[in-house]
Structure 1
Amino acid sequence: MRSGSRESTTSATLLPQPDFQALFESAPGLYLVLTPTLTIVAVSQAYLQATMTRRGEILGRHLFDVFPDNPEDATATGVSNLSASLTRVLQHRVPDAMAVQKYDIRRPDSEGGGFEERYWSPVNTPVFGVNGKVMYIIHRVEDVTEFVRLKQTGNEQQRITEELRTRTGEMEAEIFRRAQHIQEINGRLRTELDTRKQAEQDVEHFFALSLDMLCIAKSDGFFKRVSPAFTRTLGWSVDEMLTRPFLDFVHPDDHAATLREVERQVAGGESVLEFDNRYQHKDGSWRVLSWKSVPQPDGLMYAIARDITEHKRVEVATAQLAAIVESSDDAIVSTDLNSIIATWNQGAERLFGYTAGEIVGWPFTRLIPPDRLHEEAKLLEGIRHGIRTQHFDTVRLRKDGSPLEVSVTVSPIKGAGGCTVGASKIIRDITERKSAEQALRLAHAELERRVEERTAELSKRTRDLETLLYVTSHDLREPLRSIENFSRMVHDRYADQLDDKGKDFLRRVVRGAQRMDQLMADLLALSRAQRMDQPTEEVEGERIVEEALRRLGDKIKETGATVRIAKPLPRFRANSTWVTQGVYNLLTNALKFTRPGEAPNIEIAPYQPSGQANAEVGLVVRDRGPGVAPEHAERIFQLFQRAVGREIEGTGAGLAIVRQVAERHGGRAWVRPREGGGAEFILTFGATNPQKGSDVHDESAS
Structure 2
Amino acid sequence: MTATIDFQQLFEHSPNPYMLLDRELRYVAANRAYLRVTASRLEELLGRNILDAFPNDPADPNNASATMLRESLHRVLASGQADTLALIPYRVPKETPGGPVLVERFWSATHTPILDARGEVAFLLQHTVDVTELQQLKQAAAAPLVEAGVLQRAAHVQEANRSLHAETQHLRRLFKQAPGFTAFLRGREHVFELANDSYYQLVGHRDILGKPVREALPEVAGQGYFELLDQVFTSGEAFVGHDLRVLLQREPGAPLAERFLDLVYQPIVEPDGRVSGIFVQGNDITAQRHAQEQIRHLNASLEARVQERTAELQQANQRLQEVDRLKGDFLGGASYQLSSPLHAILGATDVLESTSPSKAQQPYLRRIAANAEVLLATVSGLLDMSRLSTRRLQLRRDPVDLLALVREVWEQLRPLAEQQGQRVVLQLPDTLPALQEADEERLHAVVITLVHDALRLTPAASLVRISVLKAQGQVQLEVRHTGSPLPPETLERLFQRFTQLRGTWVELSVARALVEAHGGSLTARAESDGNTFTLSLPLRGA
Q: TM-score range by the shorter chain?
A: 0.3 to 0.5
Higher RCO, 1 or 2 (CA under 8 Å, sep at least 6)?
2
Bigger-Rg structure (1/2): 1
